[in-house]
């Protein structure tokens, strides 16, 4: 089945670090490259994950510089008086364009997980363009959470197919396997009336590593958008958290679940609601994560199917586990010659 899969991680913030960590528990996966704004580590025989995690631990400034990466000039290496992030690893070196180095090593890499902060709507599509322009043929996986980005990726389907790229979009928790769960729950009905996704995340122990995630979530609050959230200082983010007493509630988020479910023919995007509670001061989930699908059966009965996550499963487990599972399935599809854009409703993640 899925053996000898080599993969790379772009960005070693919360999602990137956890991806490397979780990969050690997935059979057949070998991380061979990782990068952040400081530099890049590439080893075709496999990275020393423990050493790399130790090097990047505690850094909140260790993701790829999106402002630089989106203008085509690559990634800035910013030194702060001492080596930080990936560069602190003995496996790594500083680079003026770490993404390009991974693209250049593409023939050694079966799949790339884009664990990057998405602070411009077209950022992820632009990164994908760089891989296509660099003649990469393989799998790209993203856990993006912006509805409008799906259309931008669909516009690139022909380019992906010509390049031999299989792009798996929205491959985390939500969107991701919760979207897939909604698609399964919808099978009981001939008409789906509404899909309600309600999530709970506790982040106290991982707040430093997940500031990028918190920033992206703040963009969904009333009065903010992706541009204003990008420009917030850490102090301003902490002030927002304080204003909400550490518990931020989100309603009607622009999550990609809606577009992905409409794309799969499950229901209209307008019938999908995504919201949740983020507790930045406690590890425990403030609410149980559920997916509820309400519809009418073939015999005229109205009902609701509900999928529920156990409160013991962390955000990291529910995002990074599925992301790597979708990565494995993406590689299988790619090796079978299936290229283009795939969402979580079209794939079952490999184990």
- Catalytic residue set: 145, 216, 220
Determine the Cα–Cα distance for residues 345 and 226; give it in Å rounded to an integer: 26
User: Which element (helix H / strand E) includes 5?
Assistant: strand 5-10
Dist CA 169 CA 72 (whole Å): 22
329, 28 Cβ separation under 8 angstroms = no
Angle between helices 123-133 and 147-154 (to 10 degrees): 20
CB atoms under 10 Å from CB of 293, counted, come to 29
Which helix (H) or strand (E) element contains residue 199?
Answer: strand 191-202
CA–CA dist 203, 195 (Å, integer): 26
Q: How far apart are CA 208 and CA 61, in angstroms?
A: 10
Distance CA 270, CA 291 (A): 16
Query: Cα–Cα distances in Å, from 26 out to 182, 243, 332?
Result: 25, 40, 15
Determine whether 219 is exposed, middle or buried from the number of CB atoms within 10 Å of its CB (0-12, 13-18, 19+).
buried
Region of 273 please: left (phi>0), alpha (psi -120 to 50) or beta.
Answer: beta
Query: Are 39 and 85 a contacting pair, CB within 8 Å?
Result: yes
**What b/e sequence results for 253-284 when a residue is b if at least 16 CB atoms lie within 10 Å of its CB, and e otherwise?**
bbbbbbbbbbbbebbebebbbbbbbbbbeeee
Based on its alpha-carbon atoms, the radius of gyration of the chain, rounded to whole angstroms, reads 19
């Amino acid at each position: 089945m899925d053996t000898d899969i080599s993969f790379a991680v772009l960005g070693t913030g919360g999602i990137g670090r956890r991806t490397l960590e979780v990969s050690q528990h997935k059979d057949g996966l070998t991380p061979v490259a990782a990068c952040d704004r400081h530099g890049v580590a590439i080893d075709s025989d496999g990275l020393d994950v423990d050493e790399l995690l130790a090097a990047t631990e505690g850094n909140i400034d260790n993701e790829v510089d999106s402002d630089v990466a989106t203008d085509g000039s690559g990634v800035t290496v910013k030194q702060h008086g001492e080596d930080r992030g990936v560069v602190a690893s003995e496996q790594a070196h500083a680079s003026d364009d770490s993404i390009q180095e991974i693209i250049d090593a593409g023939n050694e890499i079966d799949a790339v997980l884009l664990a990057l902060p998405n602070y411009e709507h077209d950022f992820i599509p632009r990164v994908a363009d760089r891989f296509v322009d660099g003649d990469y043929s393989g799998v790209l996986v993203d856990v993006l959470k912006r509805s409008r980005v799906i259309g931008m990726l669909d516009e690139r389907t022909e380019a992906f197919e010509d390049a031999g790229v299989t792009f798996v979009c929205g491959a985390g928790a939500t969107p991701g396997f919760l979207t897939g769960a909604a698609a399964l729950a919808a099978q009981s009905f001939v008409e789906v009336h509404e899909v309600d996704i309600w999530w709970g995340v506790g982040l106290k122990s991982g707040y430093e590593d997940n500031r990028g995630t918190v920033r992206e979530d703040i963009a969904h609050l009333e009065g903010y958008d992706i541009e204003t959230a990008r420009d917030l200082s850490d102090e301003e983010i902490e002030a927002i958290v304080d204003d909400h007493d550490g518990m931020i509630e989100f309603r009607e988020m622009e999550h990609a679940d809606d577009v992905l479910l409409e794309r799969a023919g499950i229901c209209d995007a307008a019938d999908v609601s995504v919201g949740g509670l983020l507790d930045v001061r406690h590890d425990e989930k403030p609410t149980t994560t559920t997916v509820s699908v309400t519809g009418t059966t073939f015999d005229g009965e109205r009902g609701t199917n509900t999928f529920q996550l156990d409160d013991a499963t962390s955000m990291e487990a529910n995002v990074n586990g599925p992301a790597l599972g979708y990565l494995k399935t993406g590689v299988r599809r790619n090796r079978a010659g299936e290229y283009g854009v795939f969402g979580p409703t079209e794939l079952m993640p490999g184990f």
